[in-house]
Structure 1
Amino acid sequence: MPRTPKTIAVNGFAIFSPVHLSPGLWRHPDDRSLEFDTLRYWTDVARTLEAGRFDSIFIADGIGIHDVYAGNADAALSTAAQIPKLDPMLLVSAMAAVTEHLGLGITASVSYEPPFTLARRFSTLDHLTRGRIAWNIVTGYSAAASRAVGRADIMAHDPRYDLADEFLDAVYALWEGSWDDGAVIADRDRGVFADPSRIRKVHHQGQHFKVDAIHLVHPSPQRTPFLFQAGASHRGKDFAARHAEAVFLGEHSKTRTAANVAETRARAQAFGRNANDIRFFGLITVIVGETRAEAEAKYRDYQRYTDPKGALALLSGWTGIDLSRYSLDDPFPTIKKDNAVTSMIDTFAASERAWTIRDIITHNFIGGRGPVVIGSPAEVADELQSWIAETDLDGFNLSYAITPGGYRDFADLVVPELQRRGVYKTDYAPGTLREKTFGAGHARLPDTHPAARFRFDAAASRAQALASV
C-alpha cells in the first residue's frame, strides 16, 4: 500500500543581524535587512510567516564574532557578516503580540551562563507566548565568544556536550520539578496565591553547575520549551537523540541527510525514546517565480549582490580555518578544530566531489550550505517532496536571498501549490507549539523523554518540607 505523503513543516530561518547566510544581499533594493534593529521589520516578518502557515521562526544566535579570517574581525565588520548581532530573547515578545500560532524559536548556548537564569527567561517567554516558545540548544564553537566572557579558550568539542547534558539536567529539574501543576491556587478569599507544600527547591550539584533554588516562575504552558538541536557530529547526534524534539540539518546531499536522520532516530530508540518523537528539518533556500524563467532571472539578479569577502569571513568562522592563507582554487582544507562546526568540515571531507574554497563560497553565497531550489511553484514543490521522500525529513528551515521577500514568495507561490497537493496544512492546529507539532494532548514532554524523571514528586516535596522544620 502506498505510503501517505508527509505534511511538510516549514520554519523561517533568520538572525537578528543585517546578514544571515547570504552576505552582500542587504544591498539589494528589495531587501529590508538594514531594518533589522526595528520592531516593525520583525513584526512584518512574523505576520508574513503566519499568513503562510509557517510552523515557526527559527532565530540563529551566538555571542562570538567571526574573527578567524586574516586573524581579525575586519572582514566580518566591513561586510556585516553576522555583526551587529542583537539579542533575540528581547525580540520575540513583539512577534508574539502580532501572531496567534507562529512558533518562536531562539538559539541560546549552554556554555556562557548559569542554568537558573536561562530557565527563568524561557519560562517567562513560554508564558508570554502562551506556549509557543522553542529553544535551539547549542554548545557554542567560537573561541571569540569564550574570550568575550573572560575565558582563555573554548572547551574541547565532546566535553562541551558533556557540559550540555548536565546543563539540561539542571534546567529540567527547574522546569519540570520545582512547582507542582496545582501549586498556584490564587484564592482571593483566603489570600493564598500558592501552596508551599507543592513547591520544592531544586538541589543540583554537578561537575559544572550548582543550583540550590526554587524556580522563580510558576509552570508555563509547555513547562520545558520545545527543544531544537543541530548536532550532526558523532557526539552531537547522541545529544540530539537524547534531548531534541526537532533536529536541524544543514547538508547539501540527500544521501548524507537520509543517513543522519536514520542514525539519529536509531540512537533515540537506544535511549528509550520513540523514533517519531523527533522531527527533522533540512536547511533550504527557495527562489521561486511564476515561471522558471522568472525564478532564474531573480537568481541572476541576486548573484550581482553577493559578497565573497563576507562569505569567506563566515566560512572561516564556522570552520575555525583561516582561509586567507589559501588560494581560492586550493582544495578546501579539511582540518578538524575544536572551535568549529565539525559537521560542516565532515560534510566537505566526505563529499564525492572535490571542493575548492572557491566552490564552497560560491555555493554558500546565497542561503548557506544547504540546497538552493530555483523554479516555478510546481518545480519547487516537486523538489521539496523529493527531499522529504528520499531523506525522511519532516520539513525545512527556509533561508532566503532577500528578506522578507523570500518568505513572502514562498507563502504566496509555493504554499498554495503544496496545499493543492495535500502536503501542507491549510490552518494551524490549536494548542501549544508542542501540540501543533505532535498533536492534541502533547503540551508537555512525553514520559519517554529524559526530562520526565525530574517531574514534581509530591512525596519528595513533603519530605523536603519536613526536613526544613
Structure 2
Amino acid sequence: MTKPIAINAFSMNTISHLSPGTWRHPRDEGRRYVDLDYWMEVARTLERGKIDVLFLADVLGVYDVYGGSPAAAIRGGVQFPLNDPLALIPAMASVTEHLGFAMTAAVSYEHPFPFARRMSTLDHLTKGRVGWNVVTGYLNSGAVNFGVSGQEAHDRRYDIAEEYLEVCYKLWERSWEDDARSADAAGDVVADPARVHPIAHRGEFFQVPGIHLSEPSPQRTPVIYQAGASARGVRFAAAHGEGVFVAAQTKAALARQVRGLREALAAAGRPTDSAKVLNQQTVIVAETDAEAHRLFEEYLLYASTEGALTLLSGWTGIDFAELGMESTFEDQEGNAIQSVIQAFSSADPGRSWSIREIAEHVRIGGDGPVLVGSPTTVADQLESWVDETDVDGFNLAAAVVPEAWTQIVDLLVPELQKRGRHKVDYEPGTLREKLGGGARVAPWHPAARVRI
C-alpha cells in the first residue's frame, strides 16, 4: 500500500518568509500581508487543493545578528515587518470548512494562563482546526524587549517549555469536566461549579492556582507540533509532538532524522508512527520541466544573498558578516537553532560548505531543499523522498506568493491524487481527526495523563 503524503503550506505573516528579496518580483503579492482579503484568498486556494494545514511561522524579534545590527533585515524585509499570525486564523477559518491552521508561538516570554485561553478561543472559532507549533525562541532581540538580558541557554529553554505545556494541559484537560457546562436556563445554571476545578499548579517557573477561563473546546488540547531537531528538541518532540517539523537538506540526512525520531518515540513509550514527520521543502512547479527551471532562474534574479546571510545569522547566532564568503562552515555550537547548524554540517558527510554556497542555497527556500520541475517530475521527487526516508510529508514553502500556492494546487496536487498519494477529500471532524487521530489527544500523550 502506498503511503499517503501529508502536505502543509508553510508561510508567515510578513512580506517575505524564506526567500528573501523575492518580494520585489512583479508577480509576488507578499506586500499584501497586511490585507485580510489576501489571506482569505490563500486559505480558499489551499482548501481547494485539500492541503492539510496552513502552517504559520513566527518569531518575536528582529534578525540583528548579521553585522551586529537589524539594518539588513529592516532594509531587505527579511521576515520584517512581522505581524501576529493568530489574528489571521479566525478570518481564514470563516471562509473554509476543513483547512487546518497551525500557528507558531514561543513559550519564552508569555505566561501560559492567558495563552491557553487564546488557544481555546481559536479552537472554538475554527470548530477544532487549530494546531500549536511549540517553540522556545531563538532571537536575543526578542528577549531583551521582554526585559531580560538575553536568551536562556538552549536546553534550559526546553525545561521551561516542559512546565509551560504542563500548565496548559492542566487548564485544557483537567479544569473543566466534560459535562460541566449545561446552559440550563430553567435551572439558572450556565456551568456546574462542582465540575469546574482549580488546577493548583505550583512549579519551578509558574504558579497557576485557578481555573481555566474557557469552556472545553472541540479538541481541548490543540494538535501539538514541535520543530526542534537538537538532541534536547528530539526528546521534547518524543514526549509531546503529534507532528514534528524538520529541515533536512538531503535524503540521507532526512532518513537519519526520521529514524532518530522514531527511535525516540519508541523510547518514550509511544507508537513509532504516532507523530507525523514533515520536512521543509520548496517546490517550483510548472507545466514542463523547462518552464519550471525558467521560473526558478527568474526567481533567482530577485533573491537576496545578504538576506540569506541575515536569516542564517539569526538562526544560528553566528555573525556571517564577520566570515569571508569563501570560508567554510564547520560544525559549531550556538544558542539559537542548533538543528540549522547541524543540518548543513551533516547534510553531506565529508563536505565542507563555504559561506557562499550556503547563502546561495538559502536565498530560495531557506534551509530546506528546493525541487523544480513539471508535476510529474516533482511528484516523482516527493515520492522518492517519502519512500526512501520514511518521512510522512512536507511543509511546502513558497518562493513567490500566491503563485506558488496556485502552482501546487492546480498542477502538483492533481498529479499526486492520480497516484493515490494525496487525498481527494478531507476526513470529517477536527484537525486531529483529519490527520488520523481521535477527537482528543491519544492516551500516551502527556495531556491525557493530567485528566481527572
Q: TM-score, normalised by structure 2?
A: 0.98
- Aligned partners of 2:240, 2:275: CA distance in 1, in Å? 9
Of residues 112, 127, 136, the one that matches 1:139 is 136
- Aligned partners of 1:454, 1:146: CA distance in 2, in Å? 31
1:202-217 aligned at under 5 Å gives the runs 202-217=199-214
Identify the residue that residue 348 of structure 1 maps to in structure 2.
Answer: 344
1:57-456 aligned at under 5 Å gives the runs 57-338=54-335, 340-350=336-346, 351-352=348-349, 353-439=351-437, 442-455=438-451
Any stretches of 5+ residues in structure 1 without a counterpart? 458-469
Of residues 47, 51, 65, the one that matches 2:48 is 51
Could you give the per-residue CA deviations for residues 133-175 of structure 1, whole angstroms, max 9, x where no partner exists? 0000001111111101000111001111111111111110000
- Aligned partners of 2:127, 2:386: CA distance in 1, in Å? 30
Matched residue count: 450
Query: Sequence identity, in percent?
Result: 50
- Aligned partners of 2:35, 2:261: CA distance in 1, in Å? 39
- Aligned partners of 1:349, 1:392: CA distance in 2, in Å? 22
| Structure 2 residue identity aligned to 1:172 | Y
- Aligned partners of 1:332, 1:18: CA distance in 2, in Å? 29
Q: Is the 8 A contact 2:53 2:100 kept in 1?
A: yes
- Aligned partners of 2:68, 2:355: CA distance in 1, in Å? 18
3-state SS of the aligned residue for 1:358?
A: helix
Identify the residue that residue 9 of structure 2 maps to in structure 1.
Answer: 12
**Offset at residue 279 of structure 1 (A):** 0.4
**Offset at residue 309 of structure 1 (A):** 1.3
**Offset at residue 245 of structure 1 (A):** 0.1
* Greater CA drift, 70-79 or 329-338: 329-338
**Offset at residue 335 of structure 1 (A):** 2.7
- Aligned partners of 2:334, 2:368: CA distance in 1, in Å? 22
Could you give the per-residue CA deviations for residues 355-387 of structure 1, whole angstroms, max 9, x where no partner exists? 011100100111112111111111100000000
**Offset at residue 349 of structure 1 (A):** 2.1
3-state SS of the aligned residue for 2:54?
A: strand
3-state SS of the aligned residue for 1:344?
A: helix
| Structure 1 residue identity aligned to 2:212 | H
Could you give the per-residue CA deviations for residues 397-439 of structure 1, whole angstroms, max 9, x where no partner exists? 0001101110110110011111111111000000000000015
- Aligned partners of 1:94, 1:273: CA distance in 2, in Å? 36
**Offset at residue 333 of structure 1 (A):** 4.8
3-state SS of the aligned residue for 1:161?
A: helix
| Structure 2 residue identity aligned to 1:358 | R
**Offset at residue 265 of structure 1 (A):** 1.6
| Structure 2 residue identity aligned to 1:205 | R
Any stretches of 5+ residues in structure 2 without a counterpart? none
3-state SS of the aligned residue for 1:58?
A: strand
| Structure 2 residue identity aligned to 1:321 | I
Q: TM-score, normalised by structure 1?
A: 0.95
- Aligned partners of 1:253, 1:377: CA distance in 2, in Å? 21
* Runs of 4+, deviation exceeding 6 Å: none
3-state SS of the aligned residue for 2:8?
A: strand
- Aligned partners of 2:359, 2:20: CA distance in 1, in Å? 10
3-state SS of the aligned residue for 2:209?
A: strand
Q: Is the 8 A contact 2:330 2:352 kept in 1?
A: no
Could you give the per-residue CA deviations for residues 80-139 of structure 1, whole angstroms, max 9, x where no partner exists? 001111011111111001100000110000111111111000000000000000000001
3-state SS of the aligned residue for 1:276?
A: coil
| Structure 1 residue identity aligned to 2:239 | R
